[in-house]
Amino acid sequence: MSSSPEDEDCVVAVKFLGPQLRFCRPGQSISEWTNIRIENPCFYSSRVMFSKKDGMFRIPGSGGHLIGSWDLCKHVTKPTLRRFRYKTFPS
């Protein structure tokens, strides 16, 4: 949840096991669930989290090398993917 459910800007995200992610805005007069099918299987068992700093929902991919981000004002159905490349791994 991005903020209090009474706020008009509040967004609730639910991540199901597998390829399904849903968003809803309960503070708006018409609150409908938006269903998103995640194509990349590395996100199937991950949890969704909200970044207050960036104002978007994120899902870390299994293995920690990929993060999917959803900015609901710009791209609802397709995430922005960020890949991390580590030169040295911590011990």
In whole angstroms, give the CA distance from residue 1 to residue 30.
Answer: 18
Closest CA to 79 of 25, 42, 53, 52: 42
The helix or strand, by DSSP H or E, that contains position 60, with its residue range, turns out to be strand 56-60
Res 75: pLDDT: 59
Mean pLDDT on 63-74: 79
C-alpha closest to that of 9 among 24, 87, 50: 24
At residue 71, does pLDDT exceed 80? no
- Claim: this prediction has a pTM higher than 0.75: no
